[in-house]
A and B are shown apart, each in its own frame.
Chain A
Amino acid sequence: MSVNIFVLFGMGAGVGFLSGMFGVGGGFLMTPLLIFYNIPPAVAVATEANQIVASSFSGALAHFRRGTVDIKLGTMLLVGGITGSMIGVAIFSSLRSAGQLDLIISILYVVFLGTIGSLMIVESLNAIRKNRGNSDTPTELPKQYTWISNLPFKMRFHKSKLYLSVIPVLVLGMLVGVLASIMGVGGGFIMVPAMIYLLRVPTNVVIGTSLFQIMFVTMLTTIAQSATNQTVDIVLAFILMVGGVIGAQFGAQAGQKLKGEQLRALLGLIVLAVCIRLGWDLINMPTELFSIGGGAGH
């Protein structure tokens, strides 16, 4: 395929800048961008998983040095993640041979980006309004006595000061693993809120622990995708990695100068824009109705 190295590097740097600025992984923006740039979705997804290995590795390393990783909780999430990743790669292969992979990737993105983008905008607008109005009332988490605390197979996680059932941990890890292999994302945008609101993990270990899980799940996904679908483009991944790590540095500096609520509203708008573009491609009649694919893959 003939693509421009500098465009790809720029995309890596641009998404890296945003992920550094907002503290998000960026896979959920990078994969749609690659698809818009006519990289086959199958290749975009598998290659993006490879890129996330690099960004999550350096992130997880920094958190590990600071001691903000709950290894035990991360390992349990990982057990679920490995299972999910294997299921995801199998689903990926069968969708691909049925010719429906591109469609499912687009639909999943429209649903997830639409939901998350809307939530971010609503949440940040509320925060901005609250700041303008009277005093800041700290949003308190509801008490922990939810259905989750009634589940069996409880386990003690010292670092997180938690005593909770492994079932929601395994299920969450698995869900994120499936998404990682089908959508080419780390899954932090689901795992972080779920860990905070459902599992009550202390916020200081949430990011490090989720990066720990994402790093290993994307490693496994990269290897599994390469072995079963041969869809990892090592050169493309490397260009994106280098662009990504450089962009993230500048993004992190820029992020410190801007206000949190405005940042989240801005990211919400970007996420919604990508969602609308993908959704438009689904409902708009394509100029070319036909497509060709190899019988045994390219």
Chain B
Amino acid sequence: MRSLLLSISFLLFMSVVQAQVKTDVQIGLSRETVEISSSFDGTDIVVFGSIENADKQALVDGKYDIVVVLVGPKEEVIVRRKENKFGIWVNGSSLRFGDVPSSYSVATTRPLAEISDSNDVKILQIGLENLNVVPDEDFDAIGEEKVFKESLNRLKLSQNLYSESIGGVKFLSPSLFKATLSVPANVPIGRHTAQAFLFKEGKFVNAQFAEMQVKKIGFEQFTYDLAHRNGLLFGIIAVIIAIATGWLASVIFRKD
């Protein structure tokens, strides 16, 4: 419901904007699939783009700003806080968040606050502090929700799943740009969306989306699929490997 309202408002917003100017942004990804093999330790995704039908003078004057975002599949997350009980630190209060981007990488031409101080970035949910992540449950203590949400972002940042790169978008010519976004080693598998937002003098102009698939390949894919789809069979295979290893050891090191 929330996302529906958001997309309606977003569409209205875009149609109003487009009626005035037809300035558009086009993007292409350096790769549309990221394959995770056993040796995968993260990579970079380059998003190339161009500003089309733009106001020539504004382009030359550098009045356009670009924000590129790479968002991973949504997930449900429980944030827990440790509390001291009887002298030991135990998980105390917790808060469950639905629709949390499993990964979120944002690159901008300038700091977000300089690009737009209006509500545009809030409505479009650009930047970590503007992500519309709402708890699934009511939380009694007012102000606590904010602490849990900030902790969620902080932990995601420390796991390299969230990242912000000011200046990560570079203009190659007045209308051509290039954004480099990092894909961490622990990137969640599934459908990721690259989103490019065009701003002109602090106002949102237009946006363009592109999709990227992250999938496991080879041995990684085999074990992952098996463990998650057929845990029983996976467990039996794990036991057989263990028996074989134990048997082999007794053959190699047999003394009698």
Q: Which residues of A contact B (CB under 8 A)?
A: 1-2, 50-51, 53-58, 61-62, 65, 99-100, 102-103, 107, 219, 222-230, 232, 234-235, 237-238, 241-242, 245, 249, 282-286, 288-296
Contacts and interface: CB of A to CB of B under 8 A. Distances in A.
Nearest to A51: B242
Contacts of A249: 253
B239 A282 contact: no
Interface string B71-98: 0000111111111100111110010101
A50 B234 CA distance: 12
B76 A99 contact: no
Nearest to B249: A245
A54 B245 contact: yes
Given A226-B231, A289-B89, 15 more contacts: A53-B242, A53-B246, A54-B243, A58-B249, A99-B78, A222-B238, A223-B235, A229-B231, A232-B234, A284-B89, A289-B83, A291-B91, A292-B77, A293-B78, A295-B77
B190 to A, nearest CB: 13
A227 B231 contact: yes
B231 A245 contact: no
Given A1-B186, A289-B81, A290-B155, A99 B91 contact: yes
Interface of B: 41, 75-84, 87-91, 94, 96, 98, 148, 151-152, 154-156, 158, 185-186, 223, 227-228, 231-232, 234-239, 241-243, 245-247, 249-250, 253, 256
B97 to A, nearest CB: 9
Contacts of A241: 242, 245-246
A145 to B, nearest CB: 39
Contacts of A238: 241, 245
A57 B80 CA distance: 40
A7 B82 CA distance: 30
Contacts of A100: 90-91
B72 to A, nearest CB: 13
Contacts of B83: 289
A53 B246 CA distance: 8
A2 B41 contact: yes
Given A2-B41, A291-B155, A296-B76, A223 B91 contact: no
Contacts of A292: 77-80, 151-152, 155-156
CB-CB nearest 10 A-B residue pairs: A226-B235, A295-B76, A57-B246, A223-B235, A53-B242, A245-B249, A290-B151, A54-B246, A58-B250, A58-B246
A294 B78 CA distance: 6
Contacts of A229: 231
Contacts of B232: 223, 226-227
A57 B248 CA distance: 10
Nearest to A106: B88
Contacts of A232: 227, 234-235, 238
Q: Which of B75, B234, B238 has the most CB of A within 10 A?
A: B238
B80 A61 contact: no
A228 B76 CA distance: 19
